[in-house]
Amino acid sequence: MAQRVLVVDDDRTVADVVCRYLEHAGYEVGHVGDGAAALAAVSRQPPQLVVLDLMLPVLDGLEVCRRLRERPDGVPIVMLTARGDEADRILGLQLGADDYLSKPFSPRELVLRVRSVLRRAGGDPTGVPPELLTDGGLEVATGPRVARLHGRELTLTLREFDLLAHLMRHPARAFRRAELLERVWGWRFGDQSTVTVHVRRLREKIEADPAAPRRIVTVWGVGYRYEPADA
């Protein structure tokens, strides 16, 4: 059965091109033109992924992203942003979007991003066998993609989960942001603030004091390192 993608964009020309490329790639595609219609469509028939423009009538994309993140199914989100809208892009990532593209963008690249996010949603694409990573009350099961802290299940986006698993696999090793962008996101080029935002979100979910992190620590001039609590 084809995976279903919902495209949310009020620009009919852009939406038509995106839908056509996604359909050609083998996806079942739906389209709506405003934020309220997007939420209704997701509730009526949950898709496997949402391609979400930020500039929408009725409800803007940021509000739609926030409300989708409140759903228990955790539908993946690929955001579309206007070039130069860095503040909105960062806010969208903070709200839990899994990936983004800046307009104008290549429809082929969008298809590749959609495919990558859906592959991650279906399981770990790195080739690493399913494993259980544990450290100081933190458990990450890569097979079912479940993370728990002191027995309480954590609500993580796809990228947050992959980032945490990657860091835990390599304890006490410092990674540059560019390295993490390539290893976790699969991007050879990209905005490294994406990594910074995801680290901040992870700290809010796994650190006792996110302002003074003890698990994911900053290595000044380099990037980030995971410090095992059990060490």
pLDDT at 126: 46
What's the number of domains the chain is made of? Answer: 2
Q: List the Cα angle 104/24/33 in 5-degree steps.
A: 55
- CATH number for the domain spanning 145: value is 1.10.10.10
Taking Cα atoms as reference points, which of 177, 168, 170 lies closest to residue 196? Answer: 177
Residue 54: how many other CB atoms lie within 10 Å: 25
pLDDT of residue 210: 94
| CA dist., res. 132 & res. 26, Å (int) | 33
- Are 23 and 73 in the same domain? yes
| CATH number, residue 61 | 3.40.50.2300
pLDDT at 224: 97
* Residue 103: predicted pLDDT: 85
Helix (H, G, I), strand (E, B) or coil at 227: coil
Whether residue 199 is found in the same domain as residue 117:
no
Q: Are residue 143 and residue 192 in the same domain, yes or no?
A: yes
Sheet holding 132-135, edge to edge: 132-135, 138-141, 146-149, 152-153
Measured N-to-C along each axis, helices 12-24 and 107-121 cross at an angle, to the nearest 10 degrees, of 60
Domain that holds residue 175: 132-226
Task: List the structure tokens of 210.
Answer: 């996110």
Output the pLDDT for position 2.
80
Give yes or no for a contact between 125 and 36, defined as CB atoms under 8 angstroms apart: no
**Residue 166: how many CB atoms within 10 A of its CB?**
19
Distance from chain centroid for Cα 212: 24
Query: Is the domain of 9 the same as that of 118?
Result: yes
Whether residue 185 contacts residue 101, with contact meaning beta carbons closer than 8 Å, is answered with no
pLDDT tens for the chain, 231 residues long, are: 789 999 999 999 999 999 999 999 999 999 999 999 999 999 999 999 999 999 899 999 999 998 998 887 778 999 998 766 677 777 877 788 888 888 888 999 999 889 888 887 765 444 455 789 999 999 999 888 889 999 999 988 888 999 999 999 999 999 999 999 888 887 776 678 889 999 999 999 999 999 999 999 999 999 999 999 865
